[in-house]
């Protein structure tokens, strides 16, 4: 270092010296994400780049899952400040900041990036994404759900948990239409688990259109086999069979050929029941459907044991 250069360094404040060696910011996802280092430039690859790419990947996945087109940002909507603390601090400090022009962005500070709470970081990045891209303010629970939805397995676990909560009466905010939509959604395309099949089987009953008006004046619900013998005594059974036929085929679709085949067989049985076919024909159709479902269940259990 020359004399004048040395004098210049001595004339600078400590903050100015650090700033001169500070890692330049990294910008990702069309300017949406920016990572800034409160660390020297030699830490750029060690801490700054991995953090920037982590947040960028979360945002890319959320763009894709929400079917939102990426648009360029003149100013970042998510600014991640990477610190230089080398202890086991797990802090993820978040602040919403308003610029002079009125725009807002989320500042996420990681004092010790090597130890930061990854799930907290992922959740806060998701919240920041929806604020910047969608203008939505969501809480931690909703952000976590949307992040989990990016993983097919976790998405399916949440879907099943929601259905079970609805069925047990713990969640009344879902509604019948949303419940049916969840039931029709495909968990793992082309594959039916034992749980999928047992859940499908739990729907193989007929219910009156009005709960307070039981079939034949006494049955709040009936099995398909009971429906065969009781259809002549209560005409509403045939009308409910007709209404159930299409839904039954849909509920079994997308989860493997064997479950789909069983669902279609049950659907044919229900249409035959609604049409008033003879009892012998109905029982044969129902038996065929039951056999197909048993075959699908056996296959699912065999696959589970093989894993």
Whether residues 204 and 174 share a domain: the answer is no
| Range(s) of the domain holding residue 28 | 15-148
Cα separation, 82 vs 72, in Å, equals: 23
Q: Is residue 8 part of a domain?
A: no
Whether residues 111 and 171 share a domain: the answer is no
Q: Is residue 3 part of a domain?
A: no
One digit per residue, the tens of pLDDT, for the chain of length 307 reads: 443 344 334 444 555 545 545 567 889 999 999 998 866 665 566 678 888 999 999 999 999 888 899 989 999 999 999 887 767 888 999 999 998 888 889 999 998 887 888 889 999 999 999 999 999 999 998 998 888 877 766 666 666 666 666 666 665 556 556 655 655 554 455 577 887 888 788 889 998 887 778 999 998 889 999 999 999 999 999 999 998 888 888 877 777 789 989 999 999 999 999 999 999 999 999 999 999 999 999 988 888 776 5
Whether residues 175 and 268 share a domain: the answer is no
Whether residues 207 and 285 share a domain: the answer is yes
Q: What is the pTM of this model?
A: 0.52
Whether residues 174 and 273 share a domain: the answer is no
For residues 32 and 76, is the Cβ–Cβ distance under 8 A?
A: yes
For residues 80 and 51, is the Cβ–Cβ distance under 8 A?
A: yes
Q: Is residue 9 part of a domain?
A: no
For residues 97 and 107, is the Cβ–Cβ distance under 8 A?
A: yes
Residues 6+ apart with CB under 8 A from 295: 258, 262
Whether residues 23 and 143 share a domain: the answer is yes
Whether residues 78 and 35 share a domain: the answer is yes
**Burial track 122-161 (b if 16+ CB lie within 10 A, e otherwise):** bbbbbbbbbbbbeeeebeeeebbbbbbbbeeeebbebbbe
Q: Is residue 267 part of a domain?
A: yes
Q: Is the alpha carbon torsion for 184, 186, 190, 194 positive or negative?
A: negative
For residues 194 and 297, is the Cβ–Cβ distance under 8 A?
A: yes
Whether residues 170 and 55 share a domain: the answer is no
Whether residues 76 and 135 share a domain: the answer is yes
For residues 221 and 207, is the Cβ–Cβ distance under 8 A?
A: yes
How many domains does one find in the chain? 3
Name the domain boundary from 148, 170, 199: 148
- Residues in a beta bridge with 250: none
Closest CA to 149 of 106, 137, 141, 190: 141
Whether residues 138 and 242 share a domain: the answer is no
Whether residues 144 and 171 share a domain: the answer is no
Whether residues 33 and 129 share a domain: the answer is yes
């Amino acid at each position: 270092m020359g004399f004048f250069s040395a004098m210049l360094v001595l004339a600078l404040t400590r903050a100015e010296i650090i700033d001169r060696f500070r890692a330049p910011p990294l910008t990702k996802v069309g300017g949406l994400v920016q990572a800034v280092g409160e660390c020297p430039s030699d830490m750029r690859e060690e801490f700054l780049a991995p953090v920037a790419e982590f947040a960028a990947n979360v945002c890319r996945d959320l763009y894709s899952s929400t079917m939102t087109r990426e648009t360029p940002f003149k100013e970042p909507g998510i600014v991640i400040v990477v610190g230089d603390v080398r202890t086991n601090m797990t802090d993820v400090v978040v602040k919403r900041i308003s610029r002079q022009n009125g725009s807002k962005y989320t500042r996420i500070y990681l004092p010790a990036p090597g130890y930061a709470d990854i799930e907290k970081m992922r959740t806060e990045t998701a919240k920041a994404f929806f604020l910047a891209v969608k203008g939505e303010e969501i809480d931690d629970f909703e952000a976590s759900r949307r992040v989990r939805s990016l993983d097919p397995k976790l998405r399916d676990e949440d879907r099943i948990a929601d259905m079970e909560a609805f069925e047990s009466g713990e969640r009344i905010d879902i509604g019948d239409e949303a419940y049916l939509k969840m039931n029709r959604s495909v968990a793992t395309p082309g594959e039916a688990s034992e749980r999928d099949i047992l859940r499908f089987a739990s729907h193989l009953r007929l219910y009156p259109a009005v709960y307070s008006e039981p079939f034949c004046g006494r049955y709040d619900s009936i099995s398909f086999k009971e429906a065969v013998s009781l259809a002549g005594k209560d005409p509403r059974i045939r009308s409910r069979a007709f209404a159930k036929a299409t839904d039954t085929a849909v509920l079994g679709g997308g989860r493997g050929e064997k479950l789909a085949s069983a669902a279609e067989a049950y659907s044919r049985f229900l249409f035959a029941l609604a049409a008033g076919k003879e009892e012998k024909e109905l029982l044969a159709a129902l038996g065929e459907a039951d056999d197909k479902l048993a075959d699908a269940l056996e296959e699912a259990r065999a696959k589970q044991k093989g894993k």
